[in-house]
Structure 1
Amino acid sequence: MAITNKTVTIAATSLVVGLVVLGLKTLAWWLTGSVALYSDALESIVNVVTAVVALVAVRLAQRPADASLPYGYHKAEYFSAVIVGVMIIVAAILILREAYFGFLSPELPEAPLEGLAISAGATVINVIWAQVLIRHGRKARSPAIEADGKHLLTDVVSTVGVLVGLVLVFLTGFAQLDAILAALVAVNILWSGWGVIRDSVGGLMDVAVPPDTQKTIREVISVNAEGALEAHDIRTRQAGKMTFIDFHLVVPGAMSVDAAHTICDRIEAKLRDAVDDVQITIHVEPEEKAKHAGIVVL
Structure 2
Amino acid sequence: MRTDMRGPNRPRSPLTGQEADMSRKTLWVAAASVLVGIIVLGLKALAWWVTGSVALLSDALESIINVAASGAALIALQVSSRPADDNHQFGHHKAEYISAVIEGVLVVIAALTIMREAYNGFQNPTLPDQPVKGMLLNGAATVVNVVWYVILMRVGRAYRSPALIADAKHLMSDVVTSAAVLAGFVLVPVTGWPQLDPLLAGLVALNVLWTGWGMMKESVGGLMDAAPPPDVVARIKELVSIHAAGAIEAHDLRTRHAGRITFVEFHLVVPGAMTVAAAHEICDRIESAFEQDMDDAIITIHVEPEGEAKHRGVVVL
Give unmatched runs, 5+ long, in structure 1: none
Q: Deviations over 1:67-91 (max 9, x none)?
A: 0010000000000000000000000
Aligned to 1:166, which of 185, 196, 203?
185
Task: Quote the Cα distance in structure 2 between the aligned partners of 1:155 and 1:33.
Answer: 20
What number of residue pairs does the alignment pair up? Answer: 298
> Does the residue aligned with 2:304 lie in a helix, a strand or coil?
strand
State the partner residue of 2:293: 274
In the alignment, which residue of structure 1 is the partner of 2:112?
93
Which of residues 59, 65, 68 is equivalent to 2:87?
68
Map of 1:16 onto structure 2: 35
Contact kept, 8 Å, 1:229 with 1:287, in 2: the verdict is yes
- Structure 1 contact 216–274 (Cα < 8 Å) conserved: no
**CA distance, structure 1, for counterparts of residue 22 and residue 137 of structure 2:** 34
Q: For residues 201-246 of structure 1, give each alpha carbon's deviation from its aligned partner in whole angstroms, at most 9, with x where no partner exists.
A: 0100111111111111111111111110000111110100111000
1:232 to 2:248 alignment: no
Q: Do structure 1's residue 134 and structure 2's residue 147 form an aligned pair?
A: no
- AA of the residue aligned to 2:207: N
TM-score of the aligned structures, taking structure 1 as reference length: 0.99
Question: Do structure 1's residue 148 and structure 2's residue 167 form an aligned pair?
Answer: yes
Q: How far did 1:271 drift?
A: 1.2
Query: Matches of 1:66 and 1:281 in 2, distance apart?
Result: 18
Q: SS of 1:293's equivalent?
A: coil
Distance in 2 separating the partners of 1:255 and 1:166:
75
Following superposition, the deviation at residue 2 of structure 1 comes to 2.4
Match of 2:71 in 1: 52
Equivalent residue, structure 2, for 1:184: 203
The whole-number CA distance in structure 2 between the counterparts of 1:170 and 1:2 is 52
Asked if 1:2 is matched to 2:2, the reply is no
User: 1:109 aligned to 106, 123, 128, which one?
Assistant: 128
Structure 2 length as normaliser, TM-score?
A: 0.93
In 2, distance between residues paired with 1:209 and 1:101? 45
Q: Provide the identity percentage.
A: 58
Question: Partner residue of 1:286?
Answer: 305
- Partner residue of 1:81 out of 97, 100, 117: 100
Paired amino acid for 1:118: L
Pairing partner for 1:200 from 219, 228, 232: 219
Residue 3 of structure 1 deviates from its aligned partner by 2.3
Shift of 1:268: 1.2
Measured in 1, the distance between the counterparts of 2:279 and 2:183 equals 67
Q: Give how far 1:295 is off.
A: 1.1
SS at match of 2:163: helix
Higher relative contact order, chain-length normalized (CA < 8 Å, sep 6+):
2
One-letter identity of the residue aligned with 1:208:
A
